[in-house]
A and B are shown apart, each in its own frame.
Chain A
Amino acid sequence: NAGVTQTPKFQVLKTGQSMTLQCAQDMNHNSMYWYRQDPGMGLRLIYYSASEGTTDKGEVPNGYNVSRLNKREFSLRLESAAPSQTSVYFCASTPWGQSRSMNTEAFFGQGTRLTVV
C-alpha cells in the first residue's frame, strides 16, 4: 500500500542540465499534481492533471513540462535547470473528477529535494 511514490528523493543538477521527476500512485486516482515548496511561499502549483490525457498549468509553470503517462504516472521535466528551480517538489493525487462532490483528501509523496548549482 505505497500511496504516492516520488523518485528520486534528492538530486543535484548543474545549470542547464535536464531531468525528469517521476511520480506514481497506486490508488486509482483521477487527478495528479506537482507542487514546489519554497521557504515562506507555501506550496505553489506547477501543473496538474485532472484526468488521464489532460494537463493544465498552475501558478508557476514556466520552465517545466509534464506528462500524464497513464492513470498511475505523472512526470515533471526540467529541460534546462536554473538555480531558481532549487526547491522541494511534491507530487500529489486525489480521486477528484469533474464532479465537485468528489473532492476529498489529497495524498502527497515524500518530496524530491532538488538543488541546481
Chain B
Amino acid sequence: GENVEQHPSTLSVQEGDSAVIKCTYSDSASNYFPWYKQELGKGPQLIIDIRSNVGEKKDQRIAVTLNKTAKHFSLHITETQPEDSAVYFCAASIIAELSFGAGTTVTVRA
C-alpha cells in the first residue's frame, strides 16, 4: 500500500509568518493529494487538494505544490493567524484507498 511521510511533526510560527509542511509518498500511481485540518475534538476537514495533473493550486492564504517526479508535495500557509492553529494531515490516494501522513501540529504564536 501507499506510504506517506510528513514533516515536521510540530511547527510553531509567529502570527503573520508563513508555515510550510512537506510530505512524500511512495507509490507513483497515487493521483490525488488532499490536505486536512483537524481541530481539537473534531474529525478532519478538507482544506485544499491537488490532482496529479496539476503542479500548484492556491486558495486565498493556502497553497499546495506537487512534484510528481520527486513524489513530494507541500502545504504553504501565508500570513498565519491564530485560527490556523490545528493539526494538519497530508494524504495520498490510489483509486479508493486513502493513506495519511502522521500529522503536523501547528501553533501560531500571537
Contact = CB atoms under 8 A, between A and B. Distances in A.
Interface string A40-59: 11111100101100001011
A90 B9 contact: no
Interface in B57-71: none
Interface in A95-117: 96-98, 100, 103-106, 108-111
Interface residues of A, number: 32
Contact of A100 (B6, B46, B95, B103): B95
A74 interface: no
Contacts, number: 73
A98 B89 CA distance: 24
Given A100-B31, A110-B43, A94 B96 contact: yes
Contacts of A41: 102
Interface residues of B, number: 25
A51 B51 CA distance: 22
A108 B98 contact: no
Interface of B: 1, 6, 9, 31-32, 34, 41-46, 49, 51, 89, 93, 95-103
Interface of A: 4, 30-31, 33, 35, 40-45, 48, 50-51, 56, 58-59, 90, 92, 94, 96-98, 100, 103-106, 108-111
Given A92-B43, A106-B34, A111-B42, 4 more contacts: A33-B98, A45-B97, A45-B99, A58-B97
